Structure 1
């Protein structure tokens, strides 16, 4: 899959060749000036909505002096970056001040206590929030202290969680906090006088969380709980499918309820593992800004089904090459939630053009756009010449919109039972069950759906629709990002 290296090929020359860089700048430039210049140049080249932002126009600045002076009054690089985005259309571009943490996060490495959770508004319509534990990462502090899926909490360091304070209480630079647990109390939790102190350390989470096979009569049903499209786990993902193949499964449940996305190439490999009979056919197609579309041929913007994994590093060296273990399925069941986003939605959308895709869960996020990581170097890449050593800022701007072979995507989310066949079914905070076991209501409903065709829903049992406002994965540097790698 050909990707795009533009800096020096395109009209960044409008800025860079029309000025003599530092020579025309009468005041000695600061580190922030350099960062601001990098932000503008990167967005001017790659940003999906470049032509819609007046300050990103090619003729906006005569030289770097003009650019530096224009942004000199901004308080920090974050405000410069934000000023150049096409909000509110662009909901997902962001900038980081530590690209090492971002790179680690793409590999599942984060500073974490291991308690993965969602935050939900109280039923009483106040601004109070409660958290529910989704799962606990192995070998984490939470795992050693008996935190488990389904536990409810409503205080941190003795303070009630609210819409106004949850970010400061849970996601500050502090590496320790005390969690106050609670009883559900019909959606308005009350303390049960249990508290646990948790500490964050750098840990790596294996996104291939659970694989198993259920035998139901003549059906052998594979189950995979997959939590991030992390390229460094492509070999392990392929091995999981090799095991499914050896078990001769004839149905597959792909659980993406907590998967916010990741690598487009991994999403393409996963679709190829599920199928296999469509090798070489169009899996997804990308739309970039006008500059990039003019600079590259049409086949540069398509991603085809593969029969081989071939991953390279930033220098083009092959780091993984092996045949894809394909199942040849014509139908798949996928468990979803509002946390199912970007690359997860790409898999659902792309497969739906070819096979029967059935969903169990809630409406997905509606993130049909992808990004690249841009660094402050001569070619905006990590291995580029003159990588600025005075800071670690990097950008993750949206650069592409992606759709299936039928030119369809769903910016308002994919709805089980409406957009695609299936069952609309949310998590029951009073009974989350055990992931990978039939006690998990979503898994049990999916198994019933497969074996009997019956659709069970909790909509008739619940008249109140809780609002989930945030989750712990969104606080990681990788967030709910879908990205491509320059090749």
Structure 2
């Protein structure tokens, strides 16, 4: 058995999702502690029972909430995922492990981390359950979806394998809810083709056959990922990080902050609205790039179960050539913002205080991370919740979302009528208001996972509709990339 300290903070909330945080630093030492038994030795085969025994060894030694593990009869389950769900059910009921512990493929997850490799249309989808509508919230450059005309604000209205068997999205929702829609879009395999009918933001109705391809997930978009916005005479750095899961995200962040440093930027908008998390290493680099003058001070801490307290770590700010010292920061989140996204925001609180705001909607609420435990012969990685992250003030209890701990909040919609990076987009406009000291409406009454929805009120009025909150479309058993990027297809 091998295991890596890659706390890929992945979240799957029932059939919805938000996710993320991980760390590819040195693995913890494989020792038992505090009377906790060591993990079961690797089995000689890959039978379901052998995989269940392996998972039991992992949970019994490393699970962060040992008192919230249930007994389960392995013979009662026909797959490992359901067995893991049963074992951590008490932690889930206590809102401590909302599908954060799961099994995945070593090969697929490593490909995602190392190169951003994924397969699909390269679009992220959210849905309005009440009105049975499906929207594109983001499209990746270099993928087949964007090339076919699917971009932010497009509404998919029908799905089929051919033009002759198109089913309306409304009828799919009516027959089987969001899972029926996810099923209709097909598996995330290269070569899978679907015919989609969609309405582009300008009103054009398009019907097109689109084939899923392998593409690279670019963490910082070349279109809108790093911009310098003007608000009067002030220059605001805007950074939209799509995911922490791709290792190259750290270098892309360095390039973005080089741009900010060269232009004297001291105020930031950090847009993490769909970011489910990923590698803690990347989150740490993000912190370093905002840590000019703070090298050697505490950025964050990882706290394991008492029997593993010797494995607790403290991460200090490190030197980064392009680092700045931001004076005010607005972080845009939705219910899809989780784990590493929340780690970055929470770690800024001790240093920015009232000069920090959460903008948009409440985040998911995942102050815990996973280690990956590998059974290499079976291409099996068990992701088990193994630590909690806290900031320099030892604050880290935001299981109900960051709105409960960030000093300022400003509620705003996720405005699909505007491209990301546009200062007129609702959440970006609210962030600019906070940075300028202008008034905003606090985030109130939103439970963890609340997602600010709608297009913009003007468009809603023109269309005669009232769009409620939207949720990321997610299959019940997502692929590795879908764990980290809620709504990816």
| TM-score bracket for this pair, using the shorter chain length | 0.7 to 0.9
User: C-alpha deviations, 1:180-202, integer Å up to 9, x for none?
Assistant: 32599xxxxxx986322222222
Q: In structure 2, which of residues 119, 143, 157 is the aligned counterpart of residue 140 of structure 1?
A: 143
Q: 1:332 aligns to what?
A: 329
The Cα of 1:81 is off from its aligned counterpart by 2.1
Q: In structure 1, which of residues 218, 223, 248 is the aligned counterpart of residue 233 of structure 2?
A: 218
Q: 1:400 aligns to what?
A: 387
Q: 2:17 aligns to what?
A: none
Q: Counterparts in 2 of 1:422-433, with a 5 A limit?
A: 422-429=409-416, 431=417, 433=418
Tell me the SS of whatever aligns to 2:258. Answer: helix
Structure 2 distance, partners of 1:370, 1:351, is 18
Tell me the SS of whatever aligns to 1:231. Answer: coil
1:145/1:481 Cα in 2 relative to 1: closer, same or farther (>3 Å)? closer
Kept in 2, the 8 Å contact 1:7–1:45? The answer is no
Tell me the SS of whatever aligns to 1:40. Answer: helix
Q: 1:421 aligns to what?
A: 408
1:46/1:465 Cα in 2 relative to 1: closer, same or farther (>3 Å)? farther
Q: 1:109 aligns to what?
A: 117
Kept in 1, the 8 Å contact 2:266–2:326? The answer is yes
User: C-alpha deviations, 1:53-72, integer Å up to 9, x for none?
Assistant: 2549xxxxxxxxxxxxx634
Q: Counterparts in 2 of 1:52-67, with a 5 A limit?
A: 52-55=68-71
Please give the TM-score of this superposition, normalised by the length of structure 2: 0.76
Tell me the SS of whatever aligns to 2:427. Answer: helix
Structure 1 distance, partners of 2:395, 2:39, is 36
Tell me the SS of whatever aligns to 1:284. Answer: strand
1:95 aligns with 2:102: yes
Structure 1 distance, partners of 2:471, 2:316, is 35
Q: 1:353 aligns to what?
A: 350
Q: Which has the higher contact order (CA 8 A, sep 6+)?
A: 2
Q: Counterparts in 2 of 1:274-289, with a 5 A limit?
A: 274-289=290-305
Structure 2 distance, partners of 1:171, 1:420, is 43
Q: Counterparts in 2 of 1:239-388, with a 5 A limit?
A: 239-293=255-309, 296=310, 300-307=312-319, 323-355=320-352, 356-376=355-375, 387-388=376-377
User: C-alpha deviations, 1:15-63, integer Å up to 9, x for none?
Assistant: 769xxx98xxxxx96632322221111112211122432549xxxxxxx
Structure 2 distance, partners of 1:412, 1:441, is 24
Q: 2:54 aligns to what?
A: 38
Unaligned runs of 5+ in 2: 1-22, 161-165, 443-451
Kept in 1, the 8 Å contact 2:101–2:370? The answer is no
User: C-alpha deviations, 1:85-144, integer Å up to 9, x for none?
Assistant: 133332032434522112223353211211222122134xxxxx3221112111111121
The Cα of 1:456 is off from its aligned counterpart by 7.0
Structure 1 distance, partners of 2:264, 2:384, is 42
Unaligned runs of 5+ in 1: 23-27, 57-69, 124-128, 185-190, 308-322, 377-386, 483-487
Tell me the SS of whatever aligns to 1:335. Answer: strand
Tell me the SS of whatever aligns to 2:81. Answer: helix
Q: In structure 1, which of residues 465, 469, 483 is the aligned counterpart of residue 471 of structure 2?
A: 469
Kept in 1, the 8 Å contact 2:366–2:399? The answer is yes
Q: 2:206 aligns to what?
A: 194
1:30/1:439 Cα in 2 relative to 1: closer, same or farther (>3 Å)? closer
1:6/1:181 Cα in 2 relative to 1: closer, same or farther (>3 Å)? same
Kept in 2, the 8 Å contact 1:371–1:398? The answer is yes
Structure 2 distance, partners of 1:54, 1:119, is 34
Which one has the largest radius of gyration?
A: 1
1:197/1:439 Cα in 2 relative to 1: closer, same or farther (>3 Å)? farther
Q: 1:5 aligns to what?
A: 28
Kept in 1, the 8 Å contact 2:85–2:99? The answer is no
Tell me the SS of whatever aligns to 1:340. Answer: coil
Kept in 1, the 8 Å contact 2:92–2:99? The answer is no
Structure 2 distance, partners of 1:479, 1:91, is 16
Structure 2 distance, partners of 1:411, 1:122, is 26
**Stretch deviating more after TM superposition (443-452 or 32-41):** 443-452
Q: 1:319 aligns to what?
A: none
Q: 2:196 aligns to what?
A: 179
The Cα of 1:477 is off from its aligned counterpart by 0.8
Kept in 1, the 8 Å contact 2:357–2:434? The answer is no
Structure 2 distance, partners of 1:14, 1:132, is 47
1:77 aligns with 2:80: yes
